[in-house]
Amino acid sequence: MSGTTPAAIADDLRLSRMTVSNVIHGRATSRRVANAISAVIHKPVSKIWPGRYEPGKHYGLKRRGQ
């Protein structure tokens, strides 16, 4: 991720590293985490996770199955 790590993103967002990992691997959704990752790798969220985050819809942290 061009010089940064999931741990650095977690620290910047004041979240656990597991939370960021869960979003990366599709076990949870979080627009905030997705946007941070998108900014770091310079790709739109829709290209990283096609179909997961719809425009205009609110996504708080949500684990799969909820």
pLDDT in tens, 40-59: 999 999 999 998 887 766 65
Q: Does 1 fall in a domain? A: no
Q: How many domains does the chain have?
A: 1
How far is CA 43 from each of CA 36, 38, 46, 61, rounded to the nearest angstrom?
11, 5, 8, 21
Report the distance separating Cα 34 and Cα 39, nearest Å: 9
In one-letter notation, the amino acid at residue 36 is A
Q: Does 10 fall in a domain? A: yes
pLDDT digits (tens, 9 = 90+) for 8-48: 999 999 999 999 999 999 899 999 999 999 999 999 999 99
Buried b / exposed e across 5-16, counting CB within 10 Å, b at 16+? ebeebbeeeebe
Q: Does 11 fall in a domain? A: yes
Give the range of the structural domain holding residue 43, as residue numbers without chain letter: 6-63
